[in-house]
């Protein structure tokens, strides 16, 4: 081996120029550095508000990224009970009726004046064709909270037709 020739770390390839030597040294340093642990930055406070998580969840929902939407709505639900309504709606889209029911009930329990949660739970029972008496009561409660909403009237009418 000549004066300006080096073998790579496997001993197979000759490196003939000083530039190549620096390149090899760089790779060795990179391998060393990536094997060491670096300090991690931990964010203690969420930089997004609950409303921003809701908005981001809606964007994900519109793009069809339902699992990402649920993740954002769950982050919002820690401070904004309305998020349970959105989570229930996603579960309805995924045809996970048990998950939808659970979240509509949470929305009602945590925010009893949320008319949409009553209506959507009533609609869920209509879709399942079960608990129709309770569905009617839920639809009536939604109308009591928001009498001008025509969707609630439609839900009530469909439930009564099915009964």
Residue 148 has pLDDT above 80, yes or no: yes
58 Cβ contact partners less than 8 Å away, ≥ 6 residues apart: 69, 86
Q: Do 34 and 14 touch, CB atoms closer than 8 A?
A: no
Task: Work out the average pLDDT over 131-149.
Answer: 97
Residue 9 has pLDDT above 50, yes or no: no
Nearest to 73 by CA among 88, 59, 87: 87
Please write the tens of the pLDDT for every residue from 17-45.
555 556 556 666 555 555 555 566 666 67
pLDDT at position 15: 46
Residue 76 has pLDDT above 90, yes or no: yes
CATH superfamily ID and name for 49-112: Tetratricopeptide repeat domain (1.25.40.10)
Q: Two tokens at 97?
A: 């009726």
> Would you say the pTM of this structure is higher than 0.75?
no
**What are the residue ranges spanned by the domains of the chain?**
49-112, 113-163
Residue 103 has pLDDT above 80, yes or no: yes
């Amino acid at each position: 081996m000549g004066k300006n020739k080096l073998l790579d770390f496997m001993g197979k390839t000759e490196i003939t120029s000083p530039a190549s030597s620096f390149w090899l040294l760089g790779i060795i340093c990179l391998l060393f550095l990536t094997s060491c642990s670096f300090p991690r930055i931990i964010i203690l406070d969420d930089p997004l508000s609950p409303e921003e998580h809701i908005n981001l969840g809606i964007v994900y929902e519109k793009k069809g990224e339902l699992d990402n939407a649920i993740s954002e709505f769950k982050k919002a639900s820690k401070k904004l009970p309305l998020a349970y309504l959105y989570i229930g709606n996603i579960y309805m889209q995924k045809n996970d009726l048990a998950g939808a029911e659970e979240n509509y009930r949470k929305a009602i329990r945590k925010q009893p004046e949320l008319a949409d949660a009553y209506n959507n739970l009533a609609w869920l029972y209509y879709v399942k064709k079960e608990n129709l008496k309770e569905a009617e009561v839920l639809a009536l409660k939604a109308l009591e909270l928001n009498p001008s909403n025509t969707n609630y009237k439609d839900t009530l009418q469909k439930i009564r037709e099915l009964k």
